[in-house]
Structure 1
Amino acid sequence: MSNIQEMEMILMFSLVSTTILTLVLLTKFLKRTVTKVNRPPSPWRLPLIGNLHQLSLHPHRSLRSLSLGYGPLMLLHFGRVPILVVSSGEAAHEVMKTHDHKFANRPRSKAVHGLMNGGRDVVFAPYGEYWRQMKSICILNLLTNKMVASFETVREEELKAMLKKLEKASSSSSSENLSELFITLPSDVTSRVALGRKHSEDETARDLKKRVRQIMELLGEFPIGDYIPALAWIDKINGFNNRIKEVSQGFSDLMDKVVHEHIDAGNQKADFVDILLSIEKDENNGFQVQRNDIKFMILDMFIGGTSTTSTLLEWTMTELMRRPESMKKLQDEIRSTIKPNTTYIEEKEVENMTYLKAVIKEVLRLHPSLPLILPRLLSEDVKVKGYNIAAGTEVIVNAWAIQRDPAVWGPDAEEFKPERHLESVVDYHGKDLNYIPFGSGRRICPGIGLALGLAEVTVANVVGRFDWRVEAGPNGDESDLAEAIGIDVCRKFPLIAFPSSVM
């Protein structure tokens, strides 16, 4: 073979090789282009910790600030965990309505593991048959409209006891810590309807209200070990692990005491605990309730019945005292509705108080009890608003941001304005995803009626029977809206006010 032929063959081989290589690379490029994953916008993140450094003590506020720059559907990374943040009603509709069953699971955090035995309660249980059965038991035996109505006598007795304290303070021209009263009232009501009697004065439970606050704070934290296992030792050093153990043990001791009291008294089916114990013994109901599970169900009902209502009452009185015109309008409605010389406003009288209901709605819009709806866990890949979201992504719906969206609520979205609800058909049940103070979809809070039933009659009596005065602090009224940390956001400072009886 001549040199020319050899050269031609080498050139031919090179040409074929180059062509094949080009085709292979082009195919891969085209394939990658076609199958490119379209993720939601993400802010720049640091190595190892991701976007954790961008969280503040009030995550609902810092996440909203980020969403203003990156959009209502934003992908963050807390360590190795992808976090989808939802900040608009439109995006929330796809998560909590369109694809609700795919987003119905719960992530298992260190706090849930330590406080709720990994999710053996209703609120944090994984989506499935166990959760459905437990939720059904709670609703049928405690949370139906009929059951809530049957507790009216209990609500009246405990509310009258609180009103006596306010009358005494009025007579002596002294102040009252409304924050303290507002957590004691729902705590005592819930104890009686769920546990059979008040436990707030027991030696075992004298720090009960403090424990509730601690649990809400722990559930609202973002412990580093949940997202970066290699740095889990930090949670031990900063005391997070010890706080979990301490609070868990404190509530466990109380729940043990409650259960044993009911066992010793016999199964009378008189309250929620008795019903749970009867279900535990019944082997023919098709669903076995374990003794430990009962404790966590009780804990759910107690925390839910106490925290949500106390936070709502606290912010309601805060906003009314900051807005004298709204306070007067509500007092005029209440006092014109009831009969002269009325010493207690009954629940049937509250039913027709439209401005009162508008006030409650507006407080829940501005101060939802859970600003960040309890996180969900995506069980399978899905598309939301055209973006690809991978299974295993944790989802945070920022109800606080959604309910302050000026595109929906107008330029005065940050203002307390009950009048916006007077002609509105929007309710609490999560049908309109722009208003979701109790969540929406399968995981909506089942205790709405229990919380609102007590809140409405309490506000009617407290506002209708008394005029109120607060003393301005050194920083004006800035401290009035300062928020505590926790999964629920109550006031950072107690609400101290002077009542003046008008009845």
Structure 2
Amino acid sequence: MEEFQLFAFLVALIVLFCGLYFTRNKLTSRGNIKLAPSPPTLPVIGNLHQLGHLPHRSLWELSTKYGPIMLLKFGSKPTLVISSAAIAKEILKTHDLAFANKPVMSAPKKIFYDLKDLVNLQYGEQWRKIRSIFVHELLSSTRVKSFNTIREEEIDLMHSETGHGKIFLDKMDDAVALLFNFTIGEFVPWLGWINRLNGFNACLDKYARELDEVLNAVIEDHMSRGTSSNGDEDDGKSKENFVDILLGIYKGNTPGVSIDLISLKAVILDALGAGTETSTTTLIWLIPFGAGRRICPGLGFAAISIEHTVANLMQKFDWALPHGAKGEDLDATERPGFTIGKKEPLIVVPTKSYF
């Protein structure tokens, strides 16, 4: 994916230096409006060249010079960057309604069924409806407790399969790379053709198609398993997982709640992505759950799952770094992504505990 971004950037520079397009920085003064401090911009690309390989570090370095509130220009899109916990609280909690919507980007739009999922859906009635399904039907305290049996089975399976989950995590990394790839066409619309030329759109289409096939197979599998041999609905409620619950809503089994097939697949994708890659990152690395009305609805579920996982891993295994390495030898360099992970995978060696 880095090749896509580099190629797009080089083409933009060629266009820039050939003099095909120049733009003025209109963010310096607009009437009597007092704007936040801004670093100098380049024509066309604005401040994109200042993001670097690890954008969060680049933005922090800029904030040490321009302050905790900065106004940057990513192509044609003005972007307010906050680097203060106190100001972030004001935005995410006190004034969160004003910032409740998210920008429309091509990769999430393609992967998440035209942004029909909870994470990317624009704030409004449909967002409240989908969130209600998450909070009341999937992630209520009663539901979370009902997943205890499944959690125990998955933890036991993880113990027997420790060290063999790399293939699945690699697949999740593919999705994260696509979602995080800031292509020049997102920020300079008239250069959107570059995404076709460098193959990014084709790659995105291929991944979205393959992902849809997987989700269709998952739904078909659960639909076929949801009916017993005598044709009656399976009454094993204690064994229901997210997909089973959502399919019940889709089939009209939950009064007062409804969901269409596209939204169903988008929500499943949220549950699989936000419920696995982020939990894995938290187990290895930090990451908060957001704040305000768009705070992660899975906070309670994730906290129990992560605590349960860590407790079992600590109880049943002793852990060490490979080849006799010590804690200070651990490479803690970040890698960019939808969530910030480690550049080098966390590799630890388990030995069976006697307790």
Q: Name the structure 2 match of 1:117.
A: 113
Q: Name the structure 1 match of 2:332.
A: 481
Unaligned stretches of 5+ in structure 1?
1-32, 167-176, 184-206, 316-363, 369-436
Q: 1:54 and 1:118, CA in 2 relative to 1: closer, same or farther beyond 3 A? A: same
Work out whether residues 51 and 76 of structure 1, in 8 Å CA contact, stay in contact via their aligned partners in 2: yes
Q: 1:455 and 1:140, CA in 2 relative to 1: closer, same or farther beyond 3 A? A: same
Q: 1:210 is aligned with what amino acid? A: D
Q: 2:133 is aligned with what amino acid? A: I
Alignment partner of 1:306 out of 261, 266, 276 = 276
Alignment partner of 1:80 out of 73, 76, 81 = 76
Q: Name the structure 2 match of 1:148.
A: 144
Q: 1:275 and 1:80, CA in 2 relative to 1: closer, same or farther beyond 3 A? A: same
Work out whether residues 50 and 80 of structure 1, in 8 Å CA contact, stay in contact via their aligned partners in 2: yes
Alignment partner of 2:95 out of 84, 92, 99 = 99
- Report deviation, 1:288: 4.8
Distance 1:45 1:34 in 2: 16
Q: 1:143 and 1:225, CA in 2 relative to 1: closer, same or farther beyond 3 A? A: same
Moved over 6 A (4+): none
* 1:128-155 Cα deviation digits (max 9, x unpaired): 0000001111221221122112212222
* 1:393-429 Cα deviation digits (max 9, x unpaired): xxxxxxxxxxxxxxxxxxxxxxxxxxxxxxxxxxxxx
**TM-score normalized by the length of structure 1:** 0.58
Work out whether residues 93 and 292 of structure 2, in 8 Å CA contact, stay in contact via their aligned partners in 1: yes
* 1:177-224 Cα deviation digits (max 9, x unpaired): 4xx54x7xxxxxxxxxxxxxxxxxxxxxxx654332211222222121
Distance 2:289 2:168 in 1: 24
Distance 1:46 1:272 in 2: 48
Distance 2:249 2:152 in 1: 30
Q: Flag the structure with more relative contact order, 1 or 2, with Cα contacts below 8 A and sequence separation at least 6.
A: 1
* 1:36-67 Cα deviation digits (max 9, x unpaired): 11001110110110000011222111111111
Alignment partner of 1:461 out of 300, 306, 312 = 312
- The answer on 1:446 being equivalent to 2:297 is yes
Q: Name the structure 1 match of 2:261.
A: 291
Identical counterparts, % of pairs? 41
1:129-278 correspondence runs (5 A)? 129-165=125-161, 177=163, 181=165, 208-265=168-225, 266=227, 268=234, 270-278=240-248
- Report deviation, 1:162: 2.6
Q: Name the structure 1 match of 2:24.
A: none
- The answer on 1:62 being equivalent to 2:22 is no
Work out whether residues 467 and 502 of structure 1, in 8 Å CA contact, stay in contact via their aligned partners in 2: no
Q: 1:290 is aligned with what amino acid? A: D
Work out whether residues 211 and 251 of structure 1, in 8 Å CA contact, stay in contact via their aligned partners in 2: no
* 1:209-241 Cα deviation digits (max 9, x unpaired): 433221122222212111101222222333322
* 1:409-450 Cα deviation digits (max 9, x unpaired): xxxxxxxxxxxxxxxxxxxxxxxxxxxx11100110111122
